Chain A
Amino acid sequence: MRKTIHEHILVCLSSAPSNANTIRAAAKLSKAFGGTLTALYVQTKSADQMGAEDRRRLQRHTRLAEKLGASVSAVTGDDVAFQIAEFARISKATKIVLGRSAAPKGRIFAPKPLTEQLVELAPYLDIYIIPDSAGKNRRRQNPATRQRIRPSVQDVLITIGILTLSTVIGFAFHRMRFTEANTITIYILGVLLTALFTKNHVCSGISSLAGVLLFNFFFTEPRLSFRAYASGYPVTFAVMLFASLLTGTLANQLAVHAKRSTQTAWRTQVLLETTQRLSRAEEEEDILAVMADQLLKLLNRPILLRCANGVTIRRHPDGEPAEDFAGANAQRFAFACGGKPFGEVLVEGDALEPLESGILHSILGEGALAIENRQNARQKEEAAVVAKNEQLRANLLRSISHDLRTPLTSISGNAETLLTCGGGMAESDRRAMLTDIYEDAVWLIRLVENLLSITRIDEGHARLSMTTELVDEVIAESLRHVRAKTHTIETDLGDELLLARMDARLVSQVIVNLVENAVKYTPEGSKIEISARRQEKEILVRVADHGPGIPDEAKPRVFDMFYTGSQKIADCRRSMGLGLYLCQSIIHLHGGTIAVTDNIPHGCVFAFTLPVSEVTINE
């Protein structure tokens, strides 16, 4: 038997133009294997100097990857191969797709190509290399290079300023007849400062060279010329140049590291906070709001988040709800949930910094995961409810089939007897049998009414037809359906007009069931009182009888399905224990409560509430 292994394919994102082909190839591969696809962006320090065009291209590639069904992740680190290998190990990737390695050939100290590094670091990975068809793009594979040669105007000014200052101090030292070693130290200090305050390490290099030249020009004999008499000077110059270059490079790296560790800390903090807030969010709306808040915090730009479920959230840095920005100058990021597109985020303004974009994707990813978890949880809850309903239905069916037999036997038996030998029977016997048939049939009709109501309730709110009803009318109409020739029924409905939103048929059934119960369980000739009153925001309807009452231990159970009281009264030979269960379900569905209490001096009171409906009367 063949065991299928789930393939997880990793593709690296970059700003190189050929990267799009690589992503497409990876997507095809993933489709062919039926595996999952992850696009990984490794952020190196050169990414900070990325040009606007490259940044846009990177974003295009990210979007392309998302469109092709990849989940996008970002990691930070200078050693690209190591980062990829680590990520592959953690995410259990099985295959990796790379563009042809950009490592320059023919240089003696050229680092090993990425593929070879990866083979060493992650020998278990299958590596696929997609050839770079456009060879002329090779130079642009390292987009930071051009940027590095051209320092900004600000950097040049800083460099010139520091060099001038160093020279001025050098002249002061010269005037004070300090040794040349002090002047050299000042120049090296200048290089150090240049390296710290400029973003480009070309500046510190130029500064090192210029320092040596200036020293030569101003402070060595003959002064104001590039010649030097003393034989030791070439060595001095060489040492000075070497020391400056080294200092500059070290200081530069220090600055870059400091900046990046602050960024990493910031990123970690935003992400951590996102995770914490997401874990507290309960509903999808909350999760989406957290996502929008965190994105605003991260980007400080107007944000629009909209989803397939119709939720739209806007956030604006000024706190005011953002104007509906057209999206012409906005960046779009889609996010998926459970493999299906779920929503998108619009960020106003230009393309994002790679770091920001990385965090943005992490936040979107986490949010989508939270929503997915929420959806899964809800599905589980729904499944549990369905299972419970199934159980109830099965119980119901069993109980009904059992209880139906008695009246059906009576009906069919009596009818059969009447058909076969009805002619020879005494008139009184025939009447008795016909009465039995009639009563059993009526009992079945009531049962079917209750069952129909139960199925309607099980199907939930959708099946209710809620209208505003006058409680008096509903009670009066219900009482017309009660057969209670043996009892006196008194109603006290007060003077106030009580309006409530309800499914009148169901509420009427509650009243019918309560009154019929009262009739059934109380001695003939006793009184049943029905009243309706307003109590603040509720309408309280009470059905009180003067029967034997219900013992305290049975009270909590009377509303249970299939609970039947133990009173031995002739008329209650058959009770399915559905009536009160149904009453409770109906009242709960209307947002009310139902309870049973003792009547004084004896008997019981069933009382239920319905929310009052406040209406404006149209004259």
Chain B
Amino acid sequence: MNKLLILVVEDDPAIRNLMATTLKAHDYRYIAAPTGASALMQASTAQPDVMLLDLGLPDMDGVEIIRKIRTWSQMPIIVISARAEDTDKIDALDAGADDYLTKPFSVEELLARLRVTQRRLNFMQTSTPSPIFTNGELKIDYAAGCAWLGEQELHLTPMEYKLLCVMARNVGKVLTLSFITQKVWGSSTESDIASLRVFMATLRKKLSAGKEDAQYIQTHIGVGYRMQKL
């Protein structure tokens, strides 16, 4: 069933080869583009399902490419960055990227990200706009303003609930700290981020009640958080 069409944008031939071989071996279809300009053309003509975008392209700034694509498409974009700094990833995520990988990455990691993306795509295609959100055991009734874990109603503070809703509405996407604090507090100061850490910790504790292995919320150190699609 792995029939996703993946656009690989990467200027280095060796890495492009590696990704192509890996994708082929795991039944993905793929097309490749070595430059930003050709990537934009491929993205509009071939209509790929997912884009793997290297941020260090010779002709264009990666963040610029994301902005351009986001003007007409919501296709998932996974950025690949060689730099150790988090700022370029954060910029890319804030510009509309869904996920990121840091070079050097293992093949396993790449495949894991693609699986996450596929689940997210399936979720987006199948679910009709509904006032009820479900993800594994977790259920949120936006209209009633309450959440359940299995049969158990979650006793959340207003802040925790707000936070949970922001995460749920962007399920599968890595959200940057400033994105979340902007959504919840309307600002992004140092004390907002500290508050976010605290509420996220209590929220997680309530979500993982009983089951240690059910990790709904994933931490991305120095970047942000993501609600996983289970």
- A residues lining the B interface (CB < 8 Å): 445, 449, 452-453, 456, 465, 467-470, 472-474, 476-478, 497, 499, 503-505, 508, 613, 615-619
Could you give, for residues 195-230 of chain B, a 1 whenever the CB lies within 8 Å of some chain A CB and a 0 otherwise? 101111110000000000000000101100000000
Alpha-carbon separation in the docked complex, A503 to B185 (Å):
23
Q: Of A456, A504, A615, which one neighbours B221 at CB under 8 angstroms? A: A504
The answer to whether B13 has its CB under 8 Å from any CB of chain A is no
B201 near A497 (CB under 8 angstroms)? yes
Contacts of A497 in B (CB 8 A): 197-198, 201-202
Q: Is the CB of B194 within 8 A of A505?
A: no
Q: Closest CB of chain A to B37's CB: distance in Å?
A: 31
Chain B residues whose CB sits within 8 angstroms of the CB of A499 once the complex forms: 194, 197-198
Shortest distance in angstroms between B226's beta carbon and chain A's nearest beta carbon? 12
Nearest first, the 4 A-B pairs at minimum CB distance are A615-B194, A468-B194, A470-B197, A618-B195
Pull 14 A–B residue pairs with CB atoms less than 8 Å apart, ordered by A: A445-B104, A456-B84, A467-B177, A470-B198, A473-B197, A473-B219, A473-B221, A497-B201, A499-B194, A504-B221, A615-B194, A615-B195, A617-B191, A618-B192
Pair B221/A508 contact, Cβ less than 8 Å: yes
Known: A465-B222, A497-B198. 16 other contacts (CB 8 A): A445-B104, A465-B86, A467-B193, A469-B197, A469-B221, A470-B198, A470-B201, A477-B219, A477-B221, A478-B221, A505-B84, A615-B194, A616-B191, A616-B194, A617-B199, A618-B192
What is the bound-complex CA distance between A476 and B221, given in angstroms? 10
Please tell me if B151 contacts chain A, counting CB pairs below 8 Å.
no
- Does A617 contact B198, Cβ atoms closer than 8 Å? yes
Specify which chain B residues have a CB less than 8 angstroms from the CB of A470 in the assembled complex: 197-198, 200-201
Residues of A within 8 A of B221 (CB): 469, 473-474, 477-478, 504-505, 508
In-complex Cβ contact of A472 among B104, B191, B192, B201 (8 A)? B201
**B199 nearest CB neighbor, chain A only:** A617
Shortest beta-carbon distance, B103 to chain A, in Å?
10
Q: Is the CB of B190 within 8 A of A468?
A: yes
Closest to A618 in B: B195
B182 at the interface (CB under 8 A from A): no
> Is B5 part of the binding interface, using a Cβ–Cβ cutoff of 8 Å?
no
A593 to chain B, nearest CB (A): 23
The dominant DSSP class at the B interface is helix
Q: How many angstroms from the CA of A456 to the CA of B222 in the assembled complex?
A: 15
Point out the residues of chain A lying under 8 angstroms from B192, CB to CB.
Answer: 618
Contacts of B201 in A (CB 8 A): 470, 472-473, 497
Which residues B11-59 have CB closer than 8 A to chain A? none
Interface residues of B, Cβ cutoff 8 Å to A: 84-87, 104, 157, 159, 177, 185, 190-195, 197-202, 219, 221-222
Chain B residues whose C-beta falls within 8 Å of the C-beta of A472 in the assembled complex:
201
Q: How far is the CA of A223 from the CA of B191 in the complex (A)?
A: 102
The answer to whether B86 and A618 have CB atoms under 8 Å apart is no
Whether the Cβ atoms of B195 and A449 lie closer than 8 Å is: no
CA distance A508 to B104 in the complex (A): 17
In the bound complex, residues from chain A placing their C-beta under 8 Å from that of B194 are 468, 499, 613, 615-617
Q: Which residues of A contact B104 (CB under 8 A)?
A: 445
A53 to chain B, nearest CB (A): 59
Kindly list chain B residues whose C-beta atoms are within 8 Å of the C-beta of A508: 221
Cβ-defined contact, B84 with A452, below 8 A: yes
- Report the separation of the CA atoms of residues A615 and B190 in the bound assembly, to the nearest whole angstrom: 9
A617 proximity list for chain B (CB < 8 A) = 191, 194-195, 198-199
| Docked-complex contact B86 and A505, CB < 8 angstroms | yes
- CB neighbours (8 Å) of A613 from chain B are 194
* B106 closest partner in A (C-beta): A442
Instruction: State the Cβ distance, B171 to closest chain A Cβ, in Å.
Output: 20
Query: Do B177 and A618 touch (CB < 8 A)?
Result: no
Output the least CB separation between B88 and chain A (Å). Answer: 12
For B85, the chain A residues whose CB sits under 8 A away are: 465
A465 and B87 contact, CB distance less than 8 A: yes
| Chain A residues, Cβ within 8 Å of B177 | 467
Chain A residues with Cβ below 8 Å from B195 are: 615, 617-618
Contacts of B86 in A (CB 8 A): 465, 505
Contact B159 A619 (CB under 8 A): yes
User: B211 → chain A, closest Cβ, in Å?
Assistant: 16
| Nearest residue, chain B, Cβ from A615 | B194
A38 to B183, CA, bound (A): 65
From B84, B199, B222, A467 is in contact (CB under 8 Å) with B222
Q: When chains A and B are docked, how far (Å) is the Cα of A505 from the Cα of B159?
A: 27
Q: How far is the CA of A410 from the CA of B18 in the complex (A)?
A: 21
Rounded to whole angstroms, the CA-CA distance of A467 and B197 in the bound complex is: 10
CA A503 – CA B84 in complex, angstroms? 13
